[in-house]
Structure 1
């Protein structure tokens, strides 16, 4: 009997090894049995290690490894990203659905976790109707007003400039999504949304929850010792749903009273497809509108904060961009607008280089394969987590020579036949059917905040009590949206004329 068991075991093991040998996974760290690359996987700034592994394991544009049996593919090359996430988007447009942040928190309808299905297509249709290049221009007055409020607030309390950036992002997204005006520092809806972002970040943190590594734990009874994560997931699920429900219901109440301002939510609620029930349409609008704050608020704050940091480090770039802005303020006696963007090629190049040098979401939101695939002789199984290393792509020395140097001239044409380096916006905003639908609003937001800032302020390195310049350290947080770490700075008004124009415009609108 024992010999039969041994023989069967040998045959099973041989069969498993034969299966494994049939599949040639992309190269990468093999790690340990069962654990895979869990022990050598970095805890911070994953994107840098992924790029390093890419160079170490063949430099073919993508790598793979597994963590506790879960296969992952990391794409380090823009060309490979276009091949897989773009040209093969039918296979690569799903999302991983993690046990904690997805299943236990019931986020299957969330735009950030939803599978590529008919509901997702409806979300995209809703987003496209409001945020395509032409429709996005309807939001320009909101973006311009909020940028001026932001700069006015910074002029009063420059020591709180990050808080002012966050308030601006909240005010802009709430106005666009719900027609809601923020008129006080501690707003209920903004507090809800900010807490929701904190919860989402905690729930989705890689490696934080054991259930993500051992999915069977999700079947433990809620009362079982050690199952506190299940109770936490339920509380967070209710909290995130409330975050979307309350402002959605507020818009419906405003519409019933005839006082609703035009917004993403109000326009969609008024234009229901007759083939869709009112309840289903309401639910679709609720989940789509709820994604706008989470998608836009933190990313723009990250990029504009990086812009301030880089202007401090590169006064020559700041002065050159200011000269472009000053040509409008001085010649026409007005502040720059988003319509001026076409006549400000250098500032547009600065925007591109900010996004390239520090992409706000260095590894984006993960993709997932919906079927087995083969690429360049390598096997990529269904349900593989696919990570686009955006930071790796924007720091590829073959595409961007001297990639760690901040140099907007990469994107400035010197002559009619001159070529520039690849536009980083082609990768920074995502890929294929999951590309960011709010790209045009995001770019316009960045541009007008940068232009208004340059018109009014000088940003420089601070000095200590002995008059010595304080040199900042360059470091970034590790999260889906990465921020430059806190830094000291000096922000001073450089143009009283521009500040006066700004205050006059705000007073006229008030």
Structure 2
């Protein structure tokens, strides 16, 4: 009997031992994904263009968190808000790093950008500087500027509607350049505006974050001449470096000289320089100052442009929504004035259109990737430190469980009209909880962007009827909804007809433009 008990005890101990080992192995299991190749991992399966569609397909096979490897780099792709919020929001203390981007930061010259740095002294200082100028209260100081440039955009479009996209880019940049540097955009050939376009185009040479060999093996191959990767790459990197210098050091030095000469216009840069000026005329925290201004310059002048173009596309394709929005605007303004940002709470349907535009065509379809600062476990998965986290933002914002008929442009999904008075719903996921990023990486300029979108949309709807262009046969020319993907996604070329709703609306534009000029 004793021997049986002894053998039973050994069997139980063995079972517990092997079960514990099995659980440990299972707990250290990386999320499932497509089968990798030796060394290359899933690099050949990683789509060069529009990877979000492929990621969404993998979700059906592997679940909402898909595991990949790229030349040994661990990557997870997150396809649901639940997983993204749990990791990037609730665990932001360890999910706020950026993947190693030596190509962009160290070799491309953009190491000053908060978007490229990890939490630490520089990151925290830049975030504090940006919050100082772009928090909810601070943004109100720019309402006149934002409104003026929205009306300027619409006036330019009324005069030459064929160039509506040019006017969008110029006047949006005018907002940002005024805030960041006190620079006034005088005309369409402004070199500061052209720098932005060149910089955004230059990033194409970098490829998806973390996929170039220099990003993967920076200490081993980063010191090699760029030309070994081809002439196109070598020349492209020179442009990236040039743009980094021209969008950071050049404007910073100009404003610094103005501050020292007592001629600086109030701006983010001039204020920070004055606040950090030392008795010997040097400036402390210079990198954080010019880095903060450059990020505003680069990001703000491109992202909002994309959303305004997307709004115009929606108005072309959904004329009933346009007419409905115009009825609400007309009901408030009575044709007597143009909208102001103080009207936002009185026009919730326009707020819903802003939210739906951000949802329908996200500015950055894959978000900007995060990285783990230490090992973590999620569900039954083990995620080692330095794992890259890509959140498939387009999939999150088009999740049919969150947003029925996700491909349709439906501002009504955010509106509650049961009580007879329109108000924004609180029981529907707000796209702004995702569109501007997560956790410590949330966009510091989101309040400024939201205000710009709202006043631009409301003013466009007040002044114009927006419709499809027609070909020689009188048939409508439908726009191509396949966007050009880059760091920021933009619509392809499309045509738009702007018809003034009344001569009175146009006269209001001119009179208020004169008023703003008089106030300056």
TM-score, length-normalised on structure 2?
0.88
Which of 312, 316, 331 aligns to 1:312? It is 316
Counterpart of 1:264 in structure 2 is 268
1:104 touches 1:230 (CA, 8 Å); kept in 2?
no
Counterpart of 1:352 in structure 2 is 355
Deviation string, structure 1 residues 74-124 (Cα, Å, up to 9, x no partner)? 111112111111111111101112232233224332212111112100111
- 1: CA distance between counterparts of 2:373 and 2:231? 31
1:70 counterpart = 2:77: no
* Pairing of 1:38-117 with structure 2 (within 5 A): 38-58=43-63, 61-117=64-120
Q: Which runs of 5+ in 1 are unaligned?
A: 1-18
1:158 touches 1:491 (CA, 8 Å); kept in 2?
yes
Closer, same or farther in 2 for the Cα pair 1:34/1:367, shift >3 Å? same
Closer, same or farther in 2 for the Cα pair 1:228/1:408, shift >3 Å? closer
- 1: CA distance between counterparts of 2:121 and 2:169? 34
- 2: CA distance between counterparts of 1:477 and 1:422? 27
1:312 touches 1:459 (CA, 8 Å); kept in 2?
yes
- 2: CA distance between counterparts of 1:116 and 1:383? 14
- 1: CA distance between counterparts of 2:426 and 2:221? 55
- 1:311, CA displacement in angstroms? 0.2
TM-score, length-normalised on structure 1?
0.90
* Pairing of 1:456-495 with structure 2 (within 5 A): 456-495=463-502
- 1:208, CA displacement in angstroms? 8.0
- 1:345, CA displacement in angstroms? 0.8
2:92 touches 2:440 (CA, 8 Å); kept in 1?
yes
Counterpart of 1:220 in structure 2 is 224
- 2: CA distance between counterparts of 1:226 and 1:483? 28
Deviation string, structure 1 residues 473-506 (Cα, Å, up to 9, x no partner)? 3211121211122222222212221111011111
1:438 counterpart = 2:442: no
Counterpart of 2:17 in structure 1 is none
Closer, same or farther in 2 for the Cα pair 1:235/1:153, shift >3 Å? closer
2:99 touches 2:210 (CA, 8 Å); kept in 1?
no
* Pairing of 1:66-465 with structure 2 (within 5 A): 66-205=69-208, 209-212=212-215, 215=218, 216-221=220-225, 229=233, 233=237, 236-272=240-276, 278-330=282-334, 333-415=336-418, 420-465=427-472
1:363 touches 1:387 (CA, 8 Å); kept in 2?
yes
- 2: CA distance between counterparts of 1:357 and 1:226? 38
2:205 touches 2:236 (CA, 8 Å); kept in 1?
no
1:54 touches 1:76 (CA, 8 Å); kept in 2?
yes
Closer, same or farther in 2 for the Cα pair 1:348/1:226, shift >3 Å? closer
Q: Secondary structure at the match of 2:42?
A: coil
- 2: CA distance between counterparts of 1:222 and 1:500? 56
Which of 495, 500, 509 aligns to 1:502? It is 509
- 1:196, CA displacement in angstroms? 2.1
Closer, same or farther in 2 for the Cα pair 1:98/1:487, shift >3 Å? same
- 2: CA distance between counterparts of 1:329 and 1:155? 20
Q: Secondary structure at the match of 2:248?
A: helix
- 2: CA distance between counterparts of 1:321 and 1:459? 12
- 1: CA distance between counterparts of 2:352 and 2:407? 16
1:100 touches 1:204 (CA, 8 Å); kept in 2?
no
Q: Secondary structure at the match of 1:108?
A: coil
- 1:136, CA displacement in angstroms? 0.7
Instruction: Please say which of residues 294-303 and 479-488 is displaced more in the overlay.
Output: 479-488
* Pairing of 1:4-15 with structure 2 (within 5 A): none
Q: Which runs of 5+ in 2 are unaligned?
A: 1-23
Instruction: Please say which of residues 95-104 and 77-86 is displaced more in the overlay.
Output: 95-104
